Structure formats: C-alpha cells, structure tokens
Amino acid sequence: MIAAAFGCNQPKTEKTEKKMEAMTPAKDETVKSNLANLNFASKYDLTCHMPISAGLSDTASYKGKLYGFCSADCKDDFLKDPEAHLAENK
C-alpha cells in the first residue's frame, strides 16, 4: 500500500507517457468522421434549420430516430415539443 502511494509521485517515464497518450480522447477529426457515418433523420437542425453538415454540436434520439443540432440550446428547444418541430418541418 505504501508503494502504491509513492508510485503516483514518481517522475513520468517514456513508457508511462505512451500509456497516457493511448488513453487520451479521440481527436476532433476522428469524432467528425464518426459523426459523418451516423444516419440522421434530417439533414437540418429542426429548430434553427441550419444544415447539420455546417456544424454538429449535439444529438437527440426521438421515436427511434437520430436528430442532429447545431447547439445544446436547439436540442433543448426541440425536446420541449418534438412533435411541433417535426410537423413544422414536413
């Protein structure tokens, strides 16, 4: 137990730094690539009508379909009354 407590204070080695690199979150390009592979129910943000290809910030699933939004505010507005947004965008 004492060794574990002191082990955290040891200087980083090259091996430790490589492990830390492997644990870092995906880069923006990887995330964008993964988002491009998703099948969205609409090509537009149903709140502000911006094309989701211009910039996707958030998503919501409603009745088994995935919708993309430019911001959390647009998503929150959609989730207040999804049926109204869907009817408006038919």
Q: Please tell me the predicted confidence (pLDDT) of residue 23.
A: 52
Does residue 44 lie within any of the structural domains? Answer: yes
| Cβ neighbours of residue 75 closer than 8 Å, sequence gap 6 or more | 47, 58, 59, 60, 67, 69
**Domain of 55, in residue numbers:** 28-88
Assess if residue 8 is contained within a domain. no
In a domain, 49, yes or no: yes
**Which residues on neighbouring strands pair with residue 65, listed in sequence order?**
62
- At CB < 8 A and 24+ separation, what contacts does 41-46 make? 41/65, 41/66, 41/67, 42/67, 42/68, 42/89, 44/89, 45/69, 45/70, 45/74, 46/74, 46/78, 46/85, 46/86, 46/88, 46/89
pLDDT > 70: percent of the chain: 60
Residue 47: the pLDDT is 95
pLDDT (tens digit per residue) in 39-59: 999 999 999 999 988 888 899
Q: How far apart are CA 62 and CA 16, in angstroms?
A: 43
Overall domain count for the chain: 1
Residue 83 counted as domain residue: yes
For residue 4, the model assigns a pLDDT of 45
Percent of the chain whose pLDDT exceeds 90: 48
pLDDT band at 3 (very low <50, low <70, confident <90, very high): very low
Structural domain includes residue 2: no
Whether pTM exceeds 0.75: no
